[in-house]
């Protein structure tokens, strides 16, 4: 994290935590916040890292879109989550964004297991995971056959992913300070 300036860390945390709180309260991530994150990411990286800063931001945003857009198309993720991760990628660059993605995925998986246990849906969820994998191997969209697999459907069991991402960002920033580089 020595090559990641404190101002970028602060902007990254501010955008992520604001989105996380907003998502927890309203189940939406506002476009103004995402756009602010994108602009600050490109501007600050461009200023701090000169010509390579714009490439750094574009790489982070591009990787986020590459990974998150297919999940959105398959209706397993909301559009706000995709845009948030693109903005965080523009701030963090692709290397740090990859860390954010991994930590958020692990935390999200843990929270998803806790949620499904609390709702008594672990068996159904495991069955759905198998169904999703089988459908994807046949190049079919899982949500077409089962409406509960569409994140926008009221029958779907969902987590506010923006909140999970925010916890992932804060966790990664704390770990980076605690662990020797």
Tell me whether residue 33 is in a domain.
yes
Mean pLDDT of the chain: 91
Q: What is the dihedral of CA 110, 156, 125, 158, to 10 degrees?
A: 0
Tell me whether residue 118 is in a domain.
yes
Tell me whether residue 36 is in a domain.
yes
According to DSSP H, which parts of the chain are helical? Answer: 6-26, 31-49, 51-73, 79-118, 122-137, 142-145, 161-178
Higher pLDDT, 157 or 53: 53
Say how many domains are in the chain.
1
The CA distance from 24 to 41, in Å, is 24
Percentage of the residues of the chain whose pLDDT score is greater than 90: 64
Tell me whether residue 1 is in a domain.
no
Q: What is the pLDDT of residues 86-127, one digit of tens each?
A: 999 999 999 999 999 999 999 999 998 998 899 888 888 888
Tell me whether residue 80 is in a domain.
yes
Tell me whether residue 55 is in a domain.
yes
Tell me whether residue 146 is in a domain.
yes
pLDDT of residue 179: 80
Tell me whether residue 172 is in a domain.
yes
Domain of residue 108 covers: 6-178
Q: What is the pLDDT of residues 128-150, one digit of tens each?
A: 888 888 888 888 888 888 888 77
CA distances from 38 to 32, 54, 124, 171 (A): 10, 11, 38, 21
């Amino acid at each position: 994290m020595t090559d990641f300036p404190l101002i970028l860390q602060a902007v990254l945390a501010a955008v992520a935590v604001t989105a996380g709180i907003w998502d927890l309260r309203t189940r939406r991530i506002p476009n103004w916040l995402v756009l602010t994150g994108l602009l600050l990411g490109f501007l600050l990286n461009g200023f701090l890292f000169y010509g390579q800063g714009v490439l750094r931001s574009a790489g982070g945003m591009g990787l986020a879109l590459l990974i998150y857009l297919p999940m959105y198309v398959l209706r397993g993720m909301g559009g706000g989550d995709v845009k948030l991760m693109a903005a965080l990628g523009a701030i963090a660059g692709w290397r740090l964004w990859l860390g954010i993605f991994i930590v958020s995925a692990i935390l999200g998986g843990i929270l998803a297991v806790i949620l499904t246990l609390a709702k008594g849906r672990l068996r159904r969820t495991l069955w759905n995971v198998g169904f999703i994998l089988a459908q994807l191997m046949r190049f079919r969209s899982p949500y077409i056959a089962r409406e509960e697999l569409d994140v926008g459907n009221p029958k779907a069991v969902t987590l506010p992913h923006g909140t999970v991402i925010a916890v992932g960002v804060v966790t990664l920033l704390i770990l980076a300070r605690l662990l020797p580089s």
